[in-house]
Amino acid sequence: MRFFKNSEEKVQAATVDELQDMIRSARLPEHVRRIAQNETDLLAKISPASSEYTISFTYINFLLTIPWDKKTPDSLDLELAERILDEYHYGLHKTKARILEHLAVRILRLGERPRILVVDDEEVARRNLSHILQKEDYEVEVAVDGEDACRKLETTQFDVVFCDLKMPKVSGLDVLEQTRIKCPDTPVVIITGFASVDTAVQSLRKGAYHYIAKPFKLDEVRATAREALMKKAARRETKGSVLCFAGPPGTGKTSLGRSIAHALGRKFVRISLGGMKDEAELMGHRRTYAGARPGRIIEEIRRAESANPVIILDEIDKIGKDFKGDPAAALLEVLDSEQNAAFVDRYLDIPFDLSGVLFILTANVVDNILEPLLDRTELIEFTGYTEEEKFQIASRFLIPKQIRETGLSGYPTRIAPEAIYRIIQSYTREAGIRNLERQIATVCRKIAKGFVSTRERSGTVEVAAASLEKYLGPRRYSFEVAEENGRVGVTTGLVWTEVGGDIIFIETAKMKGGKELILTGSLGEVMRESAQTALSYVRSNASSIGIAEDFFEHYDLHVHVPAGAIPKDGPSSGAAIALALISLLTGRTTRRDVAMTGELTLTGRILPVGGVKEKILAARRSGIRTVILPGRNSVDLDDIPLQILEDITIQWVDRIDEMVDAVLMP
């Protein structure tokens, strides 16, 4: 008797004979067993020293370790799911509610027994058919004729209809038509005598799913019912069965995915698509290539030893451009429930049913997700955390976790609330909490080092705000924008980026020259156009603004936006640029504690913009007191926590003239 650490090792040590035994005893689906058997027969004929032997051997090994239909049973308990989501994540109420709704729908669907309607005016046929289907554990209802069937279709949703073709008064074709109207997704299987096969074919043209001739065979009925149900399920699930989490980094997308797996009692797998360059990495290489390998999807499923894990496909928005092959097509093969029930990994080369997998996609920017993919997902947006939320998450989750992980559990350690706020304000600048977690980890590590080097446990280590520099060095960020009032030609704009919101300063200058607009600061195409529009607006309204009509004749204007690391594009800085120019040309100083966002049109209207919550959060982080927003964005206010609105005054505007006195000093 030999002992092996795992099944893989066991397979590698096996000879052909042993392989035969293992194939016999493994629980493989029949078609897979046959393929494995054929491969092993071939193996017996080639030399173990040849490379084909190794390739074939590895392949059979692979077949034997795939969890073909090994699924973990789902825990269908919504209350438990809610408790688990709450236990590991603070806040995120709306997000959690959406996830629970999604799970509830899945649970209902999974728990449902498929309902089948059997229509036949012949009692014996009706009874036989019902008997076969009931034995398959379907819920079966019968209708004694066409009229009865139509009545039942009025009140009940069926998953499949089996219907006799020849019936008096209301025929099978009529029932078919009625079903197509009442429940267009429900497949209809027509039952017919041999004599009426032509009419049966005609019924296919009218939209019947399939026909079965009497006397029907047991296997045929069973198989048809199963396939029809799969088709129905596929239609129903095409949209919304894949979740997509979009939002800035560190807002809990991945960890919430992990909690969903935990709540359902499923295995969890994470595959990062960012930087994936080749379709084969995902879908596998054909076995004819030297060094061929299976793709990540099937490989991870094999490793998880479960055919129904939760799979997170991370950074779906970072795939594209230099990807070899067509990323959208490849991902649809994986995600689309019409296709993924027979997903073929190029290496495995046998269809594998992915329909049990719960896929969750994550992305930072929704706009970068390929359109056909987005269509098939249920989008859940994650926004950045407020300072208070960050504080709560840090004290309830991050600090206890870091204390555990750095081995400080037995050593009394306390980080004062003011110190936590100081870390949030002066050492991090982000929408999520990745950096915050990192900084807390640094503090904990340094405390641990202190304990180890002094070898004493005397008293509690208390980290106060004032002593933070000892742990984290000088503060990195300070936001005293409010104190910097009184400059001419500079306004504060708000931008939205992949990592959340941020503030930017728009600086303008004029110098002798002639009619040139200089734009610097790595501005994107759209932002450059906004600057041009802003200038044209100012020029065409010069007299009402109170500046010389010909100011541009003998001057060049320069618009610069510092902070090279922030990507700057989009139309939302139009208003801020125009106001910087107006300040420059009128000589009126600007209030720096007023930030603004809004697209400017040539006629001076202010159009709505995206990312309002992120922008307001960023403004508050930076000590801004007033935020000017396009009037039409007032619908976004629901998403903004009340706390924030207590500290920040929001001013809604529809035209740029309304902004002038709010931003410029008299």
Instruction: Name the residues annotated as catalytic.
Output: 572, 615
Q: Of the two residues 149 and 312, which places its CB atom closer to ligand ADP in the complex?
A: 312
Site membership for ligand ADP, residue 434 (CB under 6 A): yes
- Least distance CB 92 / ligand ADP (angstroms): 5
What are the residue ranges of helices labelled H in 26-66?
30-45, 51-64
Q: State the nearest-atom distance from the C-beta of 314 to ligand ADP, in Å.
A: 7
Using the rule CB under 6 A, which residue among 252, 574, 598, 630 binds ligand ADP? 252
Told to check if 270 binds ligand ADP by CB under 6 A, we report no
Tokens of 223: 């198989």
Q: Token pair of 238, please? A: 């095409």
Q: 3-class secondary structure for 330-350?
A: HHHHHHCCCCHHHECCCCCCC
Give the burial class of 455: count Cβ atoms within 10 A of its Cβ; 0-12 exposed, 13-18 middle, 19 or more buried: exposed
Spatial CA neighbour of 629 closest among 645, 649, 653: 653
Contacts of 151 (CB under 8 A, 6+ apart): 143
Does residue 641 touch ligand ADP according to CB under 6 A? no
Q: Which stretch binds ligand ADP (CB under 6 A): 21-29, 87-95, 151-159, 648-656?
A: 87-95
Residue 96 interacts with ligand ADP (CB under 6 A): yes or no: no
From candidates 96, 126, 253, 558, binder to ligand ADP by CB under 6 A: 253
> HEC string of 216-265?
CCHHHHHHHHHHHHHHHHHHHHCCCCEEEEECCCCCCHHHHHHHHHHHHC
Q: What's the min distance (Å) between Cβ of 268 and ligand ADP?
A: 12
Binding pattern to ligand ADP, positions 353-392, x when CB under 6 A? ---------x------------------------------
- Helix axes of 16-25 and 30-45: crossing angle, nearest 10 degrees: 170
Q: Site size for ligand ADP, by CB under 6 A?
A: 18
Candidate residues 59, 90, 158, 451; the one interacting with ligand ADP per rule CB under 6 A: 90
Q: Decide if residue 443 touches ligand ADP (CB under 6 A).
A: no
What is the closest distance, in whole angstroms, from the C-beta atom of residue 252 to ligand ADP in the complex?
Answer: 3
Q: Classify residue 666 by burial, with Cβ atoms within 10 Å: 0-12, 13-18, 19+.
A: exposed
- Alpha-carbon distance 350 to 66, whole Å? 11
CA distance 499 to 434: 11
71 Cβ contact partners less than 8 Å away, ≥ 6 residues apart: 306, 307, 308, 356
Q: Are 463 and 424 spatial neighbours (Cβ–Cβ below 8 Å)?
A: no
Minimum CB separation from ligand ADP for residue 382, in Å?
Answer: 6
Asked whether the beta carbons of 270 and 276 are under 8 A apart, the reply is no
Q: How far is the CB of 96 from ligand ADP (least distance, A)?
A: 9
251 binds ligand ADP (CB under 6 A): yes
Rounded Cα–Cα distance for residues 581 and 559 (Å)? 8
Residue closer to ligand ADP by CB (options 207, 274) is 274
Residue 254 interacts with ligand ADP (CB under 6 A): yes or no: yes
Stretch binding ligand ADP (CB under 6 A), from 249-257, 299-307, 316-324, 562-570: 249-257
Q: Does 162 bind ligand ADP (CB under 6 A)?
A: no
Give, as ranges, the residues between 563 and 592 that touch ligand ADP (CB under 6 A): none
Give me 499's structure tokens. Answer: 């990592």
Of 25-33, 427-435, 561-569, 612-620, the window that binds ligand ADP (rule: CB under 6 A) is 427-435
Q: Could you tell me the smallest distance in angstroms from the CB atom of residue 436 to ligand ADP?
A: 8
* Measured distance CA(490)–CA(18) in Å, rounded: 79
Binder of ligand ADP out of 138, 158, 352, 397 (CB under 6 A): 397
User: Least distance in Å: CB of 393 to ligand ADP?
Assistant: 5
Nearer to ligand ADP, 302 or 621 (CB): 621
Give me the least distance between CB of 206 and ligand ADP, in Å please: 50
Q: Which is nearer to ligand ADP, 245 or 347 (CB)?
A: 245
Tokens (6 digits) for 207: 């939209």
Question: Binding mask 20-39 vs ligand ADP (x if CB under 6 A, - otherwise)?
Answer: --------------------
> Is residue 433 involved in binding ligand ADP (CB under 6 A)?
yes
User: Is the Cβ of residue 244 or residue 348 nearer to ligand ADP in the bound state?
Assistant: 244
CB of 362 to ligand ADP, least distance (A): 6
Of the two residues 250 and 294, which places its CB atom closer to ligand ADP in the complex?
Answer: 250
Q: Which is nearer to ligand ADP, 235 or 434 (CB)?
A: 434
Q: Toward ligand ADP, which CB reaches closer, 59 or 397?
A: 397
Question: Distance between CA 129 and CA 114 in Å, rounded?
Answer: 15
What's the Cα-to-Cα distance from 348 to each of 68, 116, 286, 298, rounded to whole Å?
Answer: 12, 36, 8, 8
The Cβ of residue 94 has, within 10 Å, a number of other Cβ atoms equal to 14
Q: Which of residues 305-364 bind ligand ADP (CB under 6 A)?
A: 362
For residue 400, whether the previous peptide bond is cis, meaning omega lies within 30 degrees of 0, is no
Question: Would you give the binding string for ligand ADP spanning residues 476-515, x where CB under 6 A is met?
Answer: ----------------------------------------
The amino acid at 432: G
Smaller CB separation from ligand ADP, 243 or 490: 243
Binding flag, residue 89, ligand ADP (CB under 6 A): yes
- Measured from the CB atom, the residue of 252 and 630 that comes closer to ligand ADP is 252
Half-sphere exposure (Cβ direction) of 305: Cα atoms closer than 13 Å: 3
Nearest to 594 by CA among 579, 609, 613: 579
Residue 517's contacts (CB-CB under 8 Å, 6 or more residues apart) are 531, 532, 535, 556, 557, 558, 559
| Residue 92 interacting with ligand ADP (CB under 6 A) | yes
What are the CA-CA distances from residue 452 to residues 297, 406, 470 (Å)? 44, 12, 17
Number of neighbouring beta carbons within 10 Å of residue 252:
23
Binding site for ligand ADP (CB under 6 A): 89-92, 249-255, 362, 393, 397, 432-434, 437
